[in-house]
Amino acid sequence: MPINGTRRERQLDGKEIIELWAQMGSLGRVHTYYQNSGKVNPRSMQPYDNSSLWRAASLYMIESPKEAREIFIAQGDTKTDREWDLFVLRRAMQLYRTHRTTFMRWVVDQEWPREYEYLFKDEFAVKDGDYDYFKNTVRRMPHESTNPNTFPK
């Protein structure tokens, strides 16, 4: 459990769900698999529902789009690069539809191509200066390669 107690750890592994989804062909089958294997939500002791599985898989997909694509390609997915980009972008728009700041930080952090801006510009009220603003206010963590004194060896 986190120290501050305000955030819960993710209980579902999005990568595992994506892998099962790609193998089985549908999220409904993954849900049935989870029910049959007895996996339950440890907080409620109830089986996971479809929306929890969808959300965990979607979060993994938008946070690690390249890895998620490799998983789907390994299972025979035939989406083009553009189709995959649109698939991931729409997923992010669904997840963050009420969180403009989070969505814009995701766009900037993922260095999302501006060619797709027409899809979300109106919905998220994107203005010309937003990219610069969110680029300058993004939360950055120090990397060991740039600051060797930050992490113990």
Query: What tens digit of pLDDT does each residue of 90-131 get?
Result: 999 999 888 888 888 888 888 777 788 888 888 888 887 777
Sign of CA dihedral 18, 23, 25, 31: negative
Which structural domain, as residue segments, surrounds residue 111?
A: 81-138
Q: How many domains does the chain have?
A: 2
Widest pairwise Cα distance in the chain: 51
Q: Note whether 50 and 105 are same-domain residues.
A: no
75 or 6, which is more confident: 75
Q: Note whether 31 and 97 are same-domain residues.
A: no
Q: Note whether 102 and 131 are same-domain residues.
A: yes
Question: Looking at 42, 63, 78, which one is the last position of a domain?
Answer: 78
Cα–Cα distances in angstroms (integers) from residue 88 to residues 28, 65, 71, 81, 105, in the given order: 20, 7, 14, 11, 15
Q: Note whether 111 and 90 are same-domain residues.
A: yes
Average pLDDT over residues 26-50: 89
- Rounded to two decimals, the pTM is 0.75
**Res 59 pLDDT > 70:** yes
Query: What tens digit of pLDDT does each residue of 130-149 get?
Result: 777 777 776 655 555 444 45
Res 76: pLDDT: 87
pLDDT band at 19 (very low <50, low <70, confident <90, very high): very high
**60 assigned to some structural domain:** yes
Q: Note whether 88 and 39 are same-domain residues.
A: no
Among 147, 89, 150, smallest CA distance to 121 is for: 89
Chain mean position to CA 39: 22
Q: How far apart are CA 86 and CA 130, in angstroms?
A: 21
Q: Are 21 and 57 in contact (CB under 8 A)?
A: yes
SS3 content of the chain, % helix, strand, coil (to 5): 55, 0, 45
Res 1: pLDDT: 42
Res 58: pLDDT: 93
Q: Note whether 41 and 66 are same-domain residues.
A: yes
Strand partners, 47: 40
Q: Note whether 90 and 67 are same-domain residues.
A: no
